[in-house]
C-alpha cells in the first residue's frame, strides 16, 4: 500500500493547496453548461488487506467505513468498530480518501479521489460533500479538466461558487440552489447552449464520422478523425481513429475520450 498512499498524499497536497488558495467561494455555473456531480457508482466491498509498514498503522479489519467505495484498506482512528478521527481509506476500484471520520462516515475536512479520477478537497458532513470545497473532473469524465469551487450541500453545488471551463479557463460565477445555477449565464455558457442546439443534431448521432484540427494531438496539417460513440450535453465521446492524434496527446492510451462538441465537425466527403 506504500505506493498507493504515496499517490494519495500527492493528490491530497495538490488539491488541498488548490482548495486553500480559493478559500473564498466564487460562483457556480449554468445548468446545461455545468457538469453535474452525480453520486459515484459504489465499488464492491472486499475484506481489508493486511497492513503495510507505514504510519499510522492500519487498524483491525473490524473498523468500518460506510462509504461503499472505500471499503478496502483502512488506517487510522477507530472507535466502537467505526472509523473515527483522522484516517485513510482505500476501495477495491481505486477510490482513496484521507481526512476526518465521525462514526465511520466522512465528516470534517478530507480529500477523496474517486474511481473515475475525479477529486474533491473540502468539507464533508454525514458522508456527503457539505460546506466549501473544490471538485476537479478527471480524465475519464465528460467534463475532464473542469473545476468547481464553492459551496456544497448534501453532495450538490449550493450557495456561491465558481465553475472553471477547460481548456479555455473561462469562469462562471453564480449562486446555486441544490445543483441548479440561479444567475444569468456568461457569454461562454450562452455560446455553449447555442452550439448544443445547432451542432448536436448534426454531430451527436452515434456512428457519425467526425474530424478536428483543434482537439489535443491534432493540427491544421494533422487532421484527427474519429467516430462518435455517445453524447452528454455539449460533450462527445469520440473513438479516435488516427494513430498520430493519439501519439501526440498527453495520454495516448485515453481512447475513446470525451471531447467538447465545438472541437469537431463532419469530415469532408472525399472527391469522386
Band of residue 51 on the pLDDT scale cut at 50, 70, 90: very low
Residue 70 reports pLDDT greater than 70: yes
pLDDT tens across 179-237, in order?
888 877 777 777 777 878 888 899 999 999 999 999 999 999 999 999 999 999 889 99
What phi and psi values does residue 165 have, to the nearest 5 degrees?
Answer: -85, 140
Residue 57 reports pLDDT greater than 70: no
What is the predicted pLDDT for the residue at 16?
52
pLDDT tens across 13-46, in order?
455 555 555 443 333 333 334 555 544 433 333 3
pLDDT tens across 80-138, in order?
999 999 999 999 999 999 999 999 999 999 999 999 999 999 999 999 999 999 999 99
- Where exactly are the structural domains of the chain? 2-185, 199-266
Residue 91 contacts residue 43 (beta carbons within 8 Å): yes
- Cβ neighbors of 25 (< 8 A, separation 6 or more) are 132, 149, 150, 151, 159, 160, 161, 162
What is the predicted pLDDT for the residue at 271?
60
Give CATH for domain 199-266. 2.30.30
CA separation, residue 176 to residues 141, 151, 198, 209 (Å): 22, 8, 27, 37
Amino acid at each position: 500500500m506504500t505506493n498507493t498512499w504515496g499517490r494519495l498524499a500527492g493528490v491530497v497536497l495538490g488539491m488541498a493547496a488548490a482548495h486553500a488558495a480559493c478559500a473564498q467561494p466564487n460562483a457556480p455555473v449554468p445548468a446545461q453548461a455545468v457538469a453535474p456531480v452525480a453520486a459515484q457508482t459504489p465499488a464492491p466491498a472486499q475484506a481489508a488487506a493486511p497492513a503495510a509498514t507505514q504510519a499510522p498503522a492500519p487498524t483491525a479489519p473490524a473498523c468500518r467505513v460506510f462509504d461503499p467505495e472505500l471499503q478496502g484498506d483502512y488506517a487510522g482512528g477507530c472507535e466502537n468498530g467505526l472509523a473515527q478521527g483522522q484516517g485513510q481509506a482505500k476501495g477495491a476500484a481505486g477510490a482513496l480518501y484521507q481526512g476526518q471520520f465521525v462514526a465511520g462516515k466522512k465528516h470534517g475536512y478530507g480529500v477523496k479521489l474517486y474511481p473515475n479520477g475525479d477529486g474533491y478537497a473540502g468539507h464533508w458532513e454525514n458522508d456527503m460533500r457539505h460546506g466549501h470545497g473544490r471538485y476537479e473532473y478527471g480524465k475519464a469524465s465528460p467534463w475532464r479538466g473542469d473545476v468547481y469551487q464553492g459551496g456544497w450541500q448534501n453532495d450538490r453545488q449550493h450557495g456561491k461558487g465558481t465553475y472553471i471551463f477547460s481548456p479555455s479557463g473561462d469562469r462562471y460565477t453564480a449562486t446555486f440552489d441544490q445543483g441548479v445555477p440561479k444567475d444569468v449565464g456568461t457569454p461562454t455558457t450562452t455560446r455553449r447552449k447555442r452550439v448544443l442546439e445547432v451542432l448536436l443534431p448534426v454531430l451527436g448521432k452515434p456512428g457519425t464520422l467526425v474530424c478536428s484540427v483543434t482537439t489535443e494531438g491534432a493540427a491544421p496539417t494533422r487532421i484527427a478523425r474519429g467516430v462518435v460513440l455517445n453524447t452528454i450535453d455539449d460533450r462527445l465521446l469520440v473513438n479516435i481513429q488516427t494513430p498520430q492524434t493519439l501519439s501526440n496527446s498527453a495520454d495516448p492510451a485515453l481512447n475513446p475520450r470525451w471531447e467538447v462538441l465545438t472541437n469537431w465537425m463532419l469530415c469532408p466527403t472525399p472527391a469522386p
